[in-house]
Amino acid sequence: MRLPSWCTWLLLLLGPLLSLASASAGEQAQAFFETGNDDSRHTNNWAVLVCSSRYWFNYRHMANTLAMYRTIKRLGIPDSNIILMLADDVACNARNLFPATVYGNNDRRLDLYGDSVEVDYGGYDVTVENFLRLLTGRLDHHVPPNKRLLSDASSNVFIYMTGHGGNEFLKFQDNEEVSAFDIADAVEQMWEKRRYNKLLFMIDTCQANTMYSKFYSPNIIATGSSELGESSLSHHNDMDIGVAVIDGFTHFILDKFEPVNKSSQMTLQDLFDSYDPAAILSHPGVSTDLSRVPPSHILVTDFFGGVAGVEVAPAARGSANSGRGWTAATAGQQRGNRDAKLLRNVDKPNPSSHITLSPPSSLPVRDVVGWVALAGAAAGAYSYIRAL
């Protein structure tokens, strides 16, 4: 059956319009999935700190983790954005000559345990399964918020691990292991589910550099304490405590961070350049192949601090918030974020990252034309069918 001439002309007219509408939808979908790749989207930092060792003689691994915990809290990351996993509680061990304390230096001037440590996973809860579920977000519905990594495509995530390891594995609880492949696949799931913007992986263990050798996801910078075949050695002992109190790699990193504050302009490259194999007694490694941004352009506070810059864009003419200022424009957002676990820390402005608040753009003209074209086609088809 031959279509009437007016239908032919209608189809010829609607063809280009439908193509424009389809192209617009494709561009919007691509922009949605590429949101996590925009550096300007960085608005919050998260940290996962893991001590995977049990037993008193591994005191230094717990001190490593608690010292890192103290540093990132001092630089502004709140407890709500830190997941702390400690496989043992040496502070309450019967052998501890100084009960309820953990020290990372033999002068014992700074108690790392204190009264403000929030342990999210402790003892036998520190397992390979729980660690991988934490990263990927595959947790049971009854797991409370403090045990969840609630990061998103705007989050920079710092993962620190310490314990006993070997070639491409790290032991948990002395009875199971997580492999470099396991962690690489978990991080890939994080990327696919838009659970990070950039990721910094740091590990202090024997043959640590092999643990990041299998990463294949974008926007990752990794560093470890020792090469293949090397041990990661302790820095010094405390004769009263009777064991080593901190590892060399972590000790020198924390020493580098001690003068750093929230407004510091120190970069990750500055940190990596400070590595001294002669002092650490091993050869630390750094991998930046997967990062779009070189470490010389990334501030340490972009991972270790709780800072974010805010840039307020002028309100559009006729906007509901026009002339009412920053307070009115953000009051609704603040009311919606009262849950402390979901609230993102915003502190002193940092010129390296900005959040641009601007009114939503109007619907593109091409989309309007596309919908009108579709409506016209439907009406024409309906009229033709009724005429048959």
CA distance 12 to 150: 50
CA distance 41 to 35: 7
299 DSSP assignment: B
CA distance 261 to 282: 28
CA distance 279 to 275: 8
Residue 7, both tokens: 């239908």
Residue 291, both tokens: 């990062």
103 DSSP assignment: B
How far are the Cα atoms of 32, 33, 366, 374 from residue 20, in angstroms, in the given order?
Answer: 19, 20, 6, 12
In sequence order, what are the beta bridge partners of 158? 47, 200
Catalytic one among 164, 283, 297, 354?
164
DSSP string, 203-246: EESTTGGGGGTT--SSSEEEEES--TT----EEEEETTTTEEEE
With beta carbons less than 8 A apart as the criterion, state whether 359 and 319 touch.
yes
CA 35 to chain CA centroid, Å, is 15
Residue 337 identity: N
CA distance 3 to 297: 63
Catalytic one among 42, 61, 206, 235?
206
DSSP string, 312-374: EPPPPTT-TTTTSHHHHHHHHHHHHT--TTTPPP--S--TT-EEEE-PPPPPPHHHHHHHHHH
CA distance 227 to 87: 25
Strand 285-287, strand 155-162: pairing:
unpaired
> Does the annotation count 206 as an active-site position?
yes
CA distance 235 to 131: 27
With beta carbons less than 8 A apart as the criterion, state whether 64 and 205 touch.
no
CA distance 209 to 79: 28
Q: Which are the catalytic amino acids? A: 164, 206
